[in-house]
Structure 1
């Protein structure tokens, strides 16, 4: 049985077991475009099933659903994310369960034209009031988000050796890691807020009225807005998704940051001195993730429903080929050198 047909069959059984009102609706699997979820449209309802393939945060099946549910619930007030309709718990039919979320009608983002819409969506998310510390769980809320990010990068960097990288690339990555560590040793930090931590352009849908909606929210956390701004405009993000591929100029990136600053309010002042640091940090996270994926994607799919699983067996061959192409490109010496040159140009532009 084709994977998509089996997925629809198992989703229908889960809906029936939950006595969900959409249990008898036609189910239409969407193209396989992500390493963390399958998506199935519940025709005639306006809803999608987000069915996890794994937890990118290494959580158990139930904790992963609880985390994602909190992401959608916390971000909803921004007006730029899908509504959450319900949750299907882990079961024999769907071992990792599923979220039922609003199906957003629209088109992929077109860069650079839609950069103002993307910046407005992120500004609306970042401007949400910060909850009291006791109310932030289960979302990540590190005592020092910058130090926690370094620890995430270090964990991914453990795979650099197995990824077979060239000496120039390893040297560049190590240089940036040392630069970031020097920043961590200082005591200043920007204001924190709710961020997506996965704000690459392929995760946005632009509605007919021009409003951008951020549709992938599984990695939200309380950290620094500059990480989202970087992820939305880094070369490793804007050339990732086939539907949104574009190479942005430095002026276009600076314009995106300026538009966000004009929309987000007072937070912009504390964020600005950190834009360069967090842009480099988000690239470090992305490039070490590429090394991690290269090392782990060749492994067999794990049994059980908990934790991470980057095995290429979890996704369609076309998606795996695309990811491999992008990873190889981003880990190549010329691309790494060009990205680092771009950081210098960006930082000079910020000072101008």
Structure 2
């Protein structure tokens, strides 16, 4: 397994990178602070590049398939102008068990919320405005057409397998099971809805910590691991829910109803009245679906961190793992779940 703190591993990575950039030295490769559970990042400041080294696949994909998927996600999102460009793909080998991607280094900082919600709305609108290609050309990216609600519910069911774990309180299990029943009913309703749910390119993992705001005030989305064709309202929800705005250590914001209204207004202006008109009926149910998705993910993470070597908390920096554990405990606490149910009218 690649270790960014190992000088030998960095030297071996530089050997691979020299196929494209022959003049780089080991000293040019700078490990970046750990941000999440799925990747290590190393910067090449002189070239304006970052090496993304996967530690695991959040969708449990084989190494080669996950690398192809993520590289295609970067390519498909590039026309938005708010994502890093892909420069090189390093295949899996004995050092890089899951390969690596070399992408643009994005200079910036975490968004300051709620003040920079407008920038997040505009970035998401830019991604969602990327022309949607015909279904036959969408692979290898996942395609949630024709019913993105049903496709999302399928993901919820996968996460919900972990509700049976001993650490889940009975009241929490019951509340989330009730929400799953609602989600299944919504998926059935969506089959015959008068206004079908729109499909665009979506970023999926749009919590605010996955954006960087540059000195130009533009927010850029930097984690393209889960790009797919789905319901853009899911992205809007994941950018603004409590379980998202409280996830990243550098954000830790709580939004109110006025903040949310301003965010949606900025997005509506960016995509235009026609696109917003098709999406608006799905904005409220998408928030409830996405809250359920993030909460079930937290339960899944807690189970896998204790049982799956790929997800082991031993592989994450102590300060970050302590933060994640605190967030997961908060998101799955009975009081938080009841507060979120009240907020989402469920």
Q: Fold match, TM over 0.5? A: yes
Judge conservation of contact 2:148–2:197 (CA < 8 Å) in 1.
no
Q: 1:163 to 1:79 in 2, by over 3 A?
A: farther
Asked if residue 296 in structure 1 is aligned to residue 310 in structure 2, the reply is no
Q: State whether structure 2 residue 131 is matched by structure 1 residue 150.
A: no
Residue-pair matches, total? 336
Task: Say whether 1:222 aligns with 2:229.
Answer: yes
Note the C-alpha offset of 1:5.
2.4
Q: Give the drift of 1:81.
A: 0.6
Unaligned runs of 5+ in 1: 302-308, 348-352
Shift of 1:108: 1.0
2:335 alignment counterpart: 334
Q: Please, what is the CA RMSD of the aligned residues?
A: 1.7
Distance (Å, rounded) in 1 between the aligned partners of 2:4 and 2:50: 14
Q: Highest relative contact order (Cα 8 Å, sep 6+), 1 or 2?
A: 1
- Measured after TM superposition, the shift of residue 40 of structure 1 is 0.5
Q: C-alpha separation between the residues in 1 aligned to 2:87 and 2:342?
A: 45
8 Å contact 1:196–1:221 — kept in the other structure? yes
> How does 1:177-216 map onto structure 2 within 5 Å?
177-186=180-189, 187=191, 188=193, 189-216=196-223
Distance (Å, rounded) in 1 between the aligned partners of 2:249 and 2:120: 18
TM-aligned CA deviation for residue 11 of structure 1: 4.2
State the alpha-carbon separation in 2 of the partners of residues 209 and 203 from structure 1.
18
What residue number does 2:20 align with? 20
Residues 1:314 and 2:322 are matched in the alignment? no
| Structure 2 residue ranges without an equivalent (≥5) | none
Query: Is the Cα contact below 8 Å between 2:144 and 2:151 reproduced in 1?
Result: yes
**Where does residue 109 of structure 2 map in the other structure?**
107
Structure 1 residue 272, shift from structure 2 partner: 0.5
Q: In terms of mean alpha carbon deviation, does 179-188 or 43-52 score higher?
A: 179-188
- Find the aligned partners of 1:158 and 1:196 in 2 and give their Cα distance: 25
TM-score of the aligned structures, taking structure 1 as reference length: 0.91
Moved more, 326-335 or 53-62: 53-62
Mapped contact 2:4–2:10 kept (Cα < 8 A): no
Task: Note the C-alpha offset of 1:3.
Answer: 4.4
Q: Is the 8 A contact 1:204 1:212 kept in 2?
A: yes
C-alpha distance in 2, partners of 1:17/1:166?
A: 48
Shift of 1:127: 1.1
Normalising to structure 2: TM-score of the pair? Answer: 0.93
Aligned position for 1:257: 264
Q: Deviations over 1:327-349 (max 9, x none)?
A: 001000111111111113xx9xx
Q: Is the 8 A contact 2:74 2:224 kept in 1?
A: yes
Secondary structure of 1:107 counterpart: coil
| SS of residue paired to 1:248 | coil
